Structure 1
Amino acid sequence: MDDLMLTIIDDEITTVDDQSNDLKKWKIAIIDDDQGVHDVTKLALSGVKILGRKIEFISALSGEEGRLLLKDNPDCAVILLDVVMETSDAGLELADKIRNELLMDNVQIILRTGQPGYSPEEEIISRYEINDYKTKNELTRDKLFTSIATAIRSYNHLRALDESKKGLRNVIEASASLMKERSVHDFASGVLQQINALFNLSSQGIFCVSQSPSDGPIELIDESDSQYFVVATSPSFHDFYGKDLQDISNSHEVEIAQNTLINKQNQIQENLCSLYLSTPSGWEGVVVINSPLSLNEVDEELLKLFCLNISLGLENAKFFTHLNNAAFYDEVTGLYNRTGFIEKSSEILKSAKSSMALFIVDIDYFHEIIESLGFEFGNMVLNAVTSSLNRDFLSDGIIARLHSDVFALLLPDTNWHYRDITKECSKPFMIEGNSLRLGVTVGEATCDLSTETFDIELLLRHAEIALKVAKEHQRGVGQLFESKFEDDKRAHLDILADLRNGIANEELFLVLQPKVSMTEGYVVGYEALIRWQHPIKGLISPNAFIPVAEQSGLYFDIDMYVFRKALALIAENPAITKPISVNVSANSLHHSDFISELKKIIAEKDSDISQIEIEITENALVRSDMAIQHLRELKALGFVLCLDDFGAGYSSLSYLLKLPLDVIKIDRSFVTHIEKGAKALFVLEGMLQICQNLSMRVVVEGVETQEQADILIALNADIAQGFFYFKPLTIEEVLIKAL
């Protein structure tokens, strides 16, 4: 494990929201197999206060120790978690247990690793709810403090929300029958009944409240004129229900209600009683009953207390309604959100006889719509899609907007398939008078209720996997989930875990494929190629692990590994005097630490780089100016630079003019067709002529037959690489066959 690099700043301790009160300490768990990391972290944050509390560190040196530690400390606020401990993914396994076994939903997890350039996949970050990710050499004292302070604020906020939810639930459940009503209508109806019970009446009445509070959350405040709606009535006033007071005429009850609201106090007349209600957030209400109310002193106090309880109950009912909507419904479309969708799925299951089908619908290129036309137009698009889904499917199942431009549709016993959904959702619709047609991609997952147990979370995961596969291979159509997709994903993760171990244990080795002068017949250089000898699985093809490395952030580690191995090979085999070319991936060329890491490797053993050539592909040059800048820095260091696979991708002749290139490698695809087609021959001849006129060395890849070699020689090509001359050779074979 690499040491944690911390810069200790000798200055006054920084605190956040420092308070003098003596609260209990924040618990921060350090779970790392390097004791030095524990010591340095504690030293760096000693004496710090955050939100007025000191920090208490608890420690574990392995994933299993960490699990037991956290089990005994459920009030831990932040976990500084090493990724690689007793196993290469011990940290991620522990993260899974923290969320799914220990059920610590609020604790903030900050992953730390000593491997620069490695970053977890987005799916891993999302699955384990990772709150932050840092390499250890990033964490100076200031940055560590900032990460901890931010995490504690988030933890404190989440805990406060939990407490608020618990408090609201306790108030509603522990209060009298009135307080148990969770909707404004039910609450108001209960008030009318309770007044009769409290004062031994048999009256009729109405209850109305303001549409929005005057001092509530900004999203609840209506900027229009205040309106008062009748939310509950006794049978005699049923015609008033749901109306604005201003729309009801010729009613003494409404008149006294309006006067009560104007004067903001109770009004008791001979045959009418009107009670004024005001909540802390500024909702106003009035209860009118058409019975005489003769009150003694005790009854007056009881009435005041009752009105206070009604006000508090109204506040709770109003906010509960708002929170319920926020928790289960999407604000933009009015559809269920993910939580509401999952909750409602059990009701849909009751109506299913044989099967359930889940479709996840993703709008193609929605982000481009947002970038071009803005969020307001994007919301119009989302609502148009919502209208289409509601029209076709609302009566049959449930619909949700899971996030951004992704919708979910759950249907029982349906004949719909993803192709039908794609076709239906791709029909044109109108927005602001313009016809718009969208493309969508659909992921489908099904559950046969005769053989499977319905699990909405599992079904969602399967549909999301199918959607991901569809977006990679069938965008604009869709994909039905197949079990092999999950197997492939599991295999991907297995290879990734093994690959990290393989790099650490130096299981990867180099083979060399010679480059040959076709006219002279001797070897002029080599290309270094990576191979992996797994201790159990044997030789693993590069096609199996290189894509995994690129997707998972290990590309940089592998490129640096190859570079280090190439230098060692040259040092250990002085008989190999020809240059060795090393491939650098596009991602490495864009890595901010690329040049500095190369210099560090060179300096480690005072290596001679005169025999090292750097090969980069064309697609590495089209992403940013950083790649071109790094290329120039490589040239300044003395490397010979080779442009690999020229002509296969984003070919630009301007590269030959503006970049410090020494060698051009022509892609094998041009050689493959020169025996069969004149066009391929003319193109290849032109490429060779241009490079030769620019005094650049040219290497032709993929030469596999004598006929191809003869044609290339006739075109004045000199250097070739391919199976016709040599397959990739081990170092021992090179020393015997290809010096």
Structure 2
Amino acid sequence: MSGGFLKIKKHKEPSEAKPKLDPWLIGIIDDEPSMHDVTKLALSRITIFDRPLKFVSAYSAHEGYELIERHPEMALVLLDVVMETDDAGLCLVKRIREELSNKFIQIILRTGQPGFAPEEQVMVDYEINAYKTKSELTRSKLFTALATGIRSYRQITALEKSRQGLRAIIEASSSLIQERSVYDFASGVLDQISALFELNTESIFCVSQRPHNGPSAISARQSDEYFVVAASEKYQPLFGKPISAIGQTGLSDAPIDIVKQVLQKKQHIFSEQYSCLYLSTPSQWEGVIIAERAEKLKQVDQELLQVFCMNVAIGLENAKFFNYLNKAAYYDEVTGLFSRAGFIDNARTFYRSHGDELCLYLLDVDYFHNIIESLGYDFGNKILKRIARHLMASYGEDVVLARLHSDVFALLLPHSNIKAQEVAMRSSIPFNIDDHAIRLGMTVGAAKLEEGESIDEFDPSLLLRHAEIALKVAKENRRGSGELFDSNYERNSRHRMSLLSDIRQAIDSKELYLVMQPKVNSADLSIMGYEALLRWEHELQGNIPPDAFIPAVEKSGLYYDVDLYVAQATCDLINQNKQLSHPISINLSANSLNHETFVEDLHNVFIRNQVPLNRVELEITENALIHSETAIRELDRLAAYGFTICLDDFGAGYSSLGYLLRLPLHTIKIDRAFVSHLEGNQKAQVVLEGIINMGQKLGKEMIVEGVETQAQLVLVREMGVEHIQGFYFFKPMKIEQILELQSQYKL
């Protein structure tokens, strides 16, 4: 089999002894104990990349957070989406990436509730490897997902270790270059090797020819034999002597043999006992560093040692290699632009020379991931290079350009004369690459320096964060647009997070309550039912409008909890106020219908509270059903239980007459938009009357909402609609007002 294929195999006893490798640490976070058992059974005695697996378990998102916090070395986690809450797994993903700043662990989301959260959206919004339903993860597919994740983890951690190693080498080399003698330099090299690679072993540094600046014991030597110019404690007797003298000191001859092999092959040798490093300098010195070690070096450490040796070999004589390492740490390999670290470092210098009028633009290539999926990473890299050249040509040399990550570029200009939207338009140009005509869109977020900010106060990282917030707002508003950072964005973000936390608390403390708006019979204007509407009386902020907290409920995934909360509150109203004589309509989120157990849970609320199903009506918004086949199927199940279903806001947006035939509807509520333009608008009257007639011929009860004037009332009554709702009759009321109203109407 080709070496490029992944090896996943059952464990078996090796034919010969091999060093044992640490296992991959795999986390299982799931509130179903059986999932832990099944997963461990399926993956038992499996090795991936010649390393076994070790499992650790947590049974809630809270436990999972603590588990990953204790084990930052965890390679991969199999994470359930729905645990304590419907979005517990998704929230944990964000906490892992943001609070723990763990960018290395690979995450496979598993759910037993297909369709609860759209796979495409989850893959875009969250840094995960895969999003799978539990039923589709067969043993072989689980192997594949796990192996792919571990491969990614291995590559990412190796890359990060290389980056850290390069940075450490730069710092170490900077220190070594300051040394003026071979003795000091060589001693420093041994110290740095021991510190950088945690060898803590005995070592020797020997070179060919006489070092010019060594101690007097060395300077008198004229031979071209290899002399020890630095040594650890064990080999101190060899200091200043030729390497051939090792045998005369009572030490083993093994170092002599391995030195001969290194010089003959002119390459490094890593044996069971020694790491032997070959050096060749511009001045034609040859050198060898021998380090004893107790265990085999990891591949990445061997590679870093080789890089370090290259720096050692030419460090004193050629500063270019140091500059190369510096470039590896501060420049993007693909485009040649600054990396994020390079951008931050150079932004300070740019500020000093250009003053406080700077403006930072972040450019995000729209839908770049689609290009990668279709045409591959090599083609994607060609696009990134072309964008870099275009930006350099468009904005000249007096800028700071960087590729921060993936498809996001940073452009720091000495002024803020160009609007973010203009930058987006300038950058959205056609390219022709490998006979592919590509027109890329750009979304831009911009940020300017705070007024009066001094050089000591200037923080490039903060400027980046502000631009990133603006970029996020621009992407949420419209791809291809541009936004300039406003402090309100940050406040709004914090407010949304605070509001979300308060909503959870409000559910627990029952700060949310119901008001009801009566619905009337068009013939005699008698009350024939109520619509329950959710309100929030915050203990500190007072009344919070529904349009301020309902969208937060939908985005946070709390819709399931809120819908069941409303159902329970409705049951409480009915049971505590027996004089309520008409059905109550409650609004449902279509997202709740995507929850696996919602239909049963909702039904159980009414059964548990002994509330007959004919006392309630379920309203669901038409727009919410358009893209959810699951929601439509669940409505059929609700109707089968005996619930009355009302299609709310009919005609608002994406009306589809086909849904009137497919859905188990009893009532159709026509959106208020048709009523608001009714007076003096013959076309609006024709459309509304047509909708009413069509619904009635289909056997549906029709209700018009949003009636606010006498003229509107007259018109809709003439059209023959059965029921009406609106401020002309009643505004939403608390239960006490409803009961008083009923007594006045003698209902």
What is the TM-score normalised by the length of structure 2? 0.65
Match of 1:447 in 2: 449
Give, in whole Å, the separation in 1 of the partners of 2:418 and 2:334: 27
How many matched pairs? 623
Match of 2:488 in 1: 484
Match of 2:362 in 1: 360
Match of 1:537 in 2: 541
Matched, 1:555 2:544: no
**CA offsets per residue over residues 16-50 of structure 1, 9 Å max, x none?**
99999999999999999xxx999x999x999x999
Q: Which of 694, 713, 722 matches 2:726? A: 722
Change (3 A) 1:119 1:590: closer
Change (3 A) 1:391 1:528: same
Match of 2:347 in 1: 345
Change (3 A) 1:165 1:543: closer
Deviation at 1:693, TM superposition (A): 1.4
Q: Which of 663, 675, 680 matches 2:684? A: 680
Give, in whole Å, the separation in 2 of the partners of 1:107 and 1:694: 56
Give, in whole Å, the separation in 1 of the partners of 2:425 and 2:127: 35
- Corresponding letter in the other structure for 1:718: E
Deviation at 1:591, TM superposition (A): 3.1
Give, in whole Å, the separation in 2 of the partners of 1:354 and 1:306: 51
Matched, 1:638 2:642: yes
Tell me if structure 2 keeps the 8 A contact 1:277–1:307. no
Deviation at 1:502, TM superposition (A): 0.3
Change (3 A) 1:546 1:643: same
Matched, 1:689 2:693: yes
Match of 2:266 in 1: 277
Match of 2:570 in 1: 566
**CA offsets per residue over residues 69-90 of structure 1, 9 Å max, x none?**
979x998999999999xxxx99
Tell me if structure 2 keeps the 8 A contact 1:508–1:533. yes
Change (3 A) 1:197 1:350: farther
Deviation at 1:646, TM superposition (A): 0.8
Match of 2:659 in 1: 655
- Corresponding letter in the other structure for 2:532: A
Change (3 A) 1:660 1:17: farther
Tell me if structure 2 keeps the 8 A contact 1:23–1:53. no
Which secondary structure state, in structure 1, belongs to the residue aligned with residue 613 of structure 2? coil
Match of 2:243 in 1: none
Matched, 1:464 2:468: yes
Matched, 1:500 2:489: no
Matched, 1:416 2:418: yes
Matched, 1:516 2:558: no
Q: Percent identity?
A: 44
Which secondary structure state, in structure 1, belongs to the residue aligned with residue 614 of structure 2? coil
Which secondary structure state, in structure 2, belongs to the residue aligned with residue 614 of structure 1? strand
Match of 1:392 in 2: 394
Which secondary structure state, in structure 1, belongs to the residue aligned with residue 358 of structure 2? strand
Give, in whole Å, the separation in 2 of the partners of 1:487 and 1:334: 36
Give, in whole Å, the separation in 1 of the partners of 2:659 and 2:32: 46
**CA offsets per residue over residues 167-188 of structure 1, 9 Å max, x none?**
67777848875997x9xxxxxx
Deviation at 1:383, TM superposition (A): 3.6
Tell me if structure 2 keeps the 8 A contact 1:29–1:57. yes
**CA offsets per residue over residues 430-475 of structure 1, 9 Å max, x none?**
4457876544332110114742522222212211221232334465
Instruction: Structure 1 unaligned segments of length 5 or more: list them.
Output: 1-14, 136-142, 183-193, 204-265, 267-273, 292-301
Deviation at 1:586, TM superposition (A): 2.7
Match of 1:206 in 2: none
Which secondary structure state, in structure 2, belongs to the residue aligned with residue 610 of structure 1? helix
Change (3 A) 1:676 1:440: farther
Deviation at 1:341, TM superposition (A): 3.2
Matched, 1:713 2:704: no
Give, in whole Å, the separation in 2 of the partners of 1:689 and 1:31: 54
Tell me if structure 2 keeps the 8 A contact 1:26–1:56. no
Change (3 A) 1:609 1:147: farther
Deviating more after overlay: 693-702 vs 438-447: 438-447
Tell me if structure 1 keeps the 8 A contact 2:516–2:735. yes
Deviation at 1:525, TM superposition (A): 1.4
Change (3 A) 1:618 1:312: closer
What is the TM-score normalised by the length of structure 1? 0.66
Which secondary structure state, in structure 1, belongs to the residue aligned with residue 404 of structure 2? strand
Instruction: Structure 2 unaligned segments of length 5 or more: list them.
Output: 1-9, 134-140, 177-181, 193-206, 213-220, 225-259, 271-276, 292-301, 312-320
Give the CA RMSD over aligned residues: 6.0
Match of 1:582 in 2: 586
Tell me if structure 1 keeps the 8 A contact 2:356–2:453. no
Which secondary structure state, in structure 2, belongs to the residue aligned with residue 355 of structure 1? coil
- Corresponding letter in the other structure for 1:484: N
Change (3 A) 1:407 1:303: closer
Deviation at 1:381, TM superposition (A): 4.2
Give, in whole Å, the separation in 2 of the partners of 1:26 and 1:548: 39
Give, in whole Å, the separation in 1 of the partners of 2:375 and 2:144: 37
Give, in whole Å, the separation in 1 of the partners of 2:475 and 2:654: 23
Tell me if structure 1 keeps the 8 A contact 2:571–2:609. no
Match of 2:428 in 1: 426
Matched, 1:629 2:618: no
**CA offsets per residue over residues 310-329 of structure 1, 9 Å max, x none?**
99756854999999777655
Match of 2:529 in 1: 525
Change (3 A) 1:570 1:323: farther
Deviation at 1:506, TM superposition (A): 1.5
Deviation at 1:376, TM superposition (A): 6.4
Give, in whole Å, the separation in 2 of the partners of 1:435 and 1:346: 39
Give, in whole Å, the separation in 2 of the partners of 1:25 and 1:286: 35
Change (3 A) 1:152 1:403: closer
Tell me if structure 1 keeps the 8 A contact 2:359–2:414. yes
Change (3 A) 1:444 1:676: same
